[in-house]
Structure 1
Amino acid sequence: MNAAQPASLRRRILYATPEMADFVKTGGLGEVSAALPRALRAHYDVRVLIPGYREVRAAFPEIPVVARLDGLAGIPPCDLGLVEAADGLRIYVLLSPDLYERDGTPYGDAGGDFSDNDLRFARLSLAAADLARGADPDWAADLLHLHDWQAALAPAFLAWRGARLPTVLTIHNLAYQGLFPRDAMHRLGVPDAAFQVDGCEFYGQLSFLKAGIFYASHVTTVSETYAREIQTPEMGCGLDGLLRVRAGQGRLAGILNGIDESWDPRTDPHLALPFEVDDWKGKRANAEAVRRAFGLALSRGPLFAIVSRLVHQKGIDLSLQAAEQIVAEGGQLVVIGQGEARFEDGLRGLGRRHPEAVGVHVGFEEARARQMFAGSDFLLMPSRFEPCGLAQMYAQRFGSLPIVRRTGGLADTVEDGVTGFTFSDPSPAGLGGAVRRALDTFGQKKRLNAMRRRAMAADFGWDRAAENYATLYTRAIGNSLALRWRAA
């Protein structure tokens, strides 16, 4: 990437996202929304827009208001705050307590999704469009980068108002589309003419994500393989036809996510003992600490880990069956995550049957997860689909070899027999064969350590992704300027 430009010449990029790891995250989206803007700060004037959740308000008890945003139809007006992170990154905060200051996740509570999520995230999308049109008198975006369905109405709001501004929509998981009943469109200010196949209609429902895919200047996904997969009926979630059209226009691309420098076993403060390549005694020290933390018997056998949401997509049912094979072969398994009750209960039952070999923690703790990456020999990640995945990158950085299905970002980041083990068929036999190969490799220390070295040396930093996004931004902004010139 070229050297940084003077601040006065840098293009202004607004990232609109429902999550940011600084405050709240449910998965990779929050990590990316925190890391990508920072990776591009030297080359652009970047700002992030997020809802004012309780976690954000707790981090910034006093938030200066820089603008008052108008409402639209049933979308309420709200104040717009501006804060600055410790490293100087500027963050816009939507100040609407009734919409955002709630218990639970950003999307729901124990009772399920919030019933007004259409209003909550239409408010986020509308705010992004307003910021592009000068809602803050001191700053206006040259390009909007929108993340997932929760911000995907922004390109549509711009189009419905006749505004020509380049927009990039990143799909982190096509399975989550923001679907709402048709009658929601009137309280969201969606024009009747937009409710059609070439618009935001999806099998009789209003789809935030389809609107974004249709109206955005460019669409990206978080790995090259996933960008190809979602153009197929099997993986396209009903949107494969539109995605093939966008790909044919040269407007769909896969850009692999990265991970930041905190994922370094030499410096991570959460580890029992820092270690580096070839310091396998240091890695064993972390394995022993993990075993103690989970109440397992001390062992010289292989230690497997699962760090995941406990849902069908992640192949937890397959992992449950593979766990019996692992235990029978003298291995151990530690699990951290939460999700579907059937999988939480199944894993707890597994732990009760094998108390010295299986440890389960339902929930999530960042420090414990990092210790598991550092201490484990193998990471189980047999996802049925995986847009990108970050856990397999974290694991490799810490010398834990991933066992993954060959799909999405897993196919793009794990080299079979070199940095991990891959399989194709999402079945007990498919995963079982890969586990068998991992167990055999554990008994071949020279090969095991060679694979660890290759995994730890893999480059998963943000530089390559930042370069690809910068190229895309340049293209999108250039095309937009050309359109404005022709219109004038």
Structure 2
Amino acid sequence: MSVADQQDPIDLHHSPRSRHQLQPRILFATPEMADFVKTGGLGEVAGSLPRALRRHYDVRVVIPGYRQVIEQFDHIPVVAQLPAQAGIPPSDLGLVETTDGLKVYVILNADLYQRDGTPYGNAQGDFGDNDIRFARLSLAAAEIARGIDPTWAADLLHLNDWQAALAPAYLAWSGLRVPSILTVHNLAYQGVFPREALGRLGIPEDAFRMDGVEFYGQLSFLKAGLYYASHVTTVSETYAREIITPESGCGLDGLLRTRAAQGRLAGILNGIDESWDSRTDPHLAARFEIDDWKGKRANAETVRRQFGLAVSRGPLFAVVSRLVHQKGIDLSIGAAESIVAEGGQLVVIGQGEGRFEGALRDLARRYPSSVGVHVGFEERDARRMFAGSDFLLMPSRFEPCGLAQMYAQRFGSLPIVHRTGGLADTVEDGVTGFTFGEASARGFSVAIRRAFDTFAQKKRLNAMRRHAMSRSFGWDQAAMNYASLYARAFGNTAGLRLRAA
């Protein structure tokens, strides 16, 4: 999907610099960033995309001051005080710089952010005040656009997922028009809270309507962003088409169809960074190039030893995933016995729902020489699994973009994927992997059977590996697409379009 050449009027008088200057200022607001903390693909994107854009824009990031952020710096200079609003507490705004020079604003509020667990919750569930915690993030982004830091003010906000999605709404309610892009990484997570949250979040009562923040009698952060942002993007072209349908729209398909009809919904495929290179990755047991299948086998042997599997000449299948229903983990569990019966082996790393963790541990107990499971996540182990496996199982029921299938291809592991979202956009059936159209055990088993057949034909297997490893999946194309969108949001296409390298 593309965005039509519609232009928004915009007030840039809040900023001491004009939008026509060489490097417009982009603020990337995110609830997680791989430099500090990540739970999935969003963290990886937040660590990579701002850097890909930095050569052409003055890009900064704003993130909550989690413990994982605070602990990485001896001192965080405070550049501004964020005022309270309704029930949102005041906070300091710090500014740090990563080792490669990327500037990151940190919202300093120990009561809100310095907690055990993930950015969103702990073993007991989501934090009960997540509405306040992430309204604080959204409001901070809006304040930076207003110029609360006297040395820098954002000319455009690039907001990510529901946790930052109230920012364009706060700007609209204050009467300030600053262009904004909202990127939806997973429509299923919407930030829905009771209507009673309106008062403590400083949301006007008249905004609680269908053309506003109301969602089936509750408040939706994500809907607010979809409605108020200048443009909406999601993370693959296919997913952008899927979410305007009732089947995949999670109750927001009507609003998304409207935004698409306005030319304000686009799908821009994520990329992966340059560290995903089998020739240079220091995590691997052995580095290897295309056609160096001995080096790939060395990683397979390391993986088998690590998981306690038997030496085998059969194919090695891998799962590197959150262990949740969306990812089709039940389908992978259901396929395990037939994989073992055919002479294959399966290794799994990830964490998620207890029922799936238990079922996988049970498989490992029943087939100790053929199935290995690690509940948790280690970057080194995951990379070695991509490098050592022959096939990656990724039967996601829906997948907005997905990164694991890109990682796997770069390391010569052929993905077996459900043909949906970003999986459909990045895996070429029979060339760089295997796809199936029905998210069912039957469709999955047919694709796995094709993988076994290919493994027995070494010439074909190696040809597919070469094609897969030749894919780049870099950020250059995504950066150009975002730059084009930024230009449209600014209404200055000629002045702001990113030139191809």
One fold, TM greater than 0.5? yes
What does 1:245-264 correspond to in 2, within 5 Å? 245-264=258-277
Matched, 1:420 2:448: no
Aligned position for 1:127: 140
Does the residue aligned with 1:256 lie in a helix, a strand or coil? coil
Aligned position for 2:283: 270
1:339-363 alpha-carbon deviations (Å, 9 max, x no partner): 0000000000010110000000000
Number of positions where the alignment pairs a residue of Structure 1 with one of Structure 2: 475
Aligned position for 2:253: 240
Q: Aligned equivalents of 1:325 and 1:440: distance in 2? A: 14
Q: Which amino acid aligns with 2:117?
A: G
After TM superposition, give the deviation of residue 197 of structure 1 in Å. Answer: 0.2
After TM superposition, give the deviation of residue 394 of structure 1 in Å. Answer: 0.0
Aligned position for 1:370: 383
What does 1:105-184 correspond to in 2, within 5 Å? 105-184=118-197
Q: Aligned equivalents of 2:477 and 2:313: distance in 1? A: 38
User: Which structure has more RCO (C-alpha within 8 Å, separation ≥ 6)?
Assistant: 2
Q: Aligned equivalents of 1:396 and 1:78: distance in 2? A: 44
Out of 309, 323, 328, the position equivalent to 1:296 is 309
After TM superposition, give the deviation of residue 477 of structure 1 in Å. Answer: 1.0
Q: Percent identity?
A: 78
Q: Which amino acid aligns with 1:226?
A: Y
Q: Aligned equivalents of 1:455 and 1:9: distance in 2? A: 38
Q: Which amino acid aligns with 1:163?
A: L
After TM superposition, give the deviation of residue 9 of structure 1 in Å. Answer: 2.4
What does 1:262-341 correspond to in 2, within 5 Å? 262-341=275-354
Aligned position for 1:218: 231
Aligned position for 2:35: 22
Matched, 1:98 2:111: yes
Q: Which amino acid aligns with 1:185?
A: L
Out of 49, 55, 61, the position equivalent to 2:68 is 55
Unaligned runs of 5+ in 1: 1-6, 481-488
TM-score, normalised to structure 1, is: 0.97
Q: Aligned equivalents of 2:457 and 2:339: distance in 1? A: 17
Aligned position for 1:405: 418
Aligned position for 2:496: none
1:405-425 alpha-carbon deviations (Å, 9 max, x no partner): 000000000000000000011
After TM superposition, give the deviation of residue 441 of structure 1 in Å. Answer: 0.3
Q: Aligned equivalents of 1:115 and 1:22: distance in 2? A: 26
1:346-404 alpha-carbon deviations (Å, 9 max, x no partner): 00001011000000000000000000000000000000000000000000000000000
Q: Which amino acid aligns with 1:43?
A: H
Q: Aligned equivalents of 2:446 and 2:84: distance in 1? A: 56
After TM superposition, give the deviation of residue 478 of structure 1 in Å. Answer: 1.5
1:17-45 alpha-carbon deviations (Å, 9 max, x no partner): 00000000000000000100000101000
Aligned position for 2:4: none
Does the residue aligned with 1:9 lie in a helix, a strand or coil? coil
Does the residue aligned with 2:491 lie in a helix, a strand or coil? helix
Unaligned runs of 5+ in 2: 1-19, 494-501
Question: More displaced, 8-17 or 415-424?
Answer: 8-17
Out of 412, 437, 444, the position equivalent to 1:431 is 444
After TM superposition, give the deviation of residue 458 of structure 1 in Å. Answer: 1.0
TM-score, normalised to structure 2, is: 0.94
Q: Aligned equivalents of 1:376 and 1:9: distance in 2? A: 46
Does the residue aligned with 2:59 lie in a helix, a strand or coil? strand
Aligned position for 1:460: 473
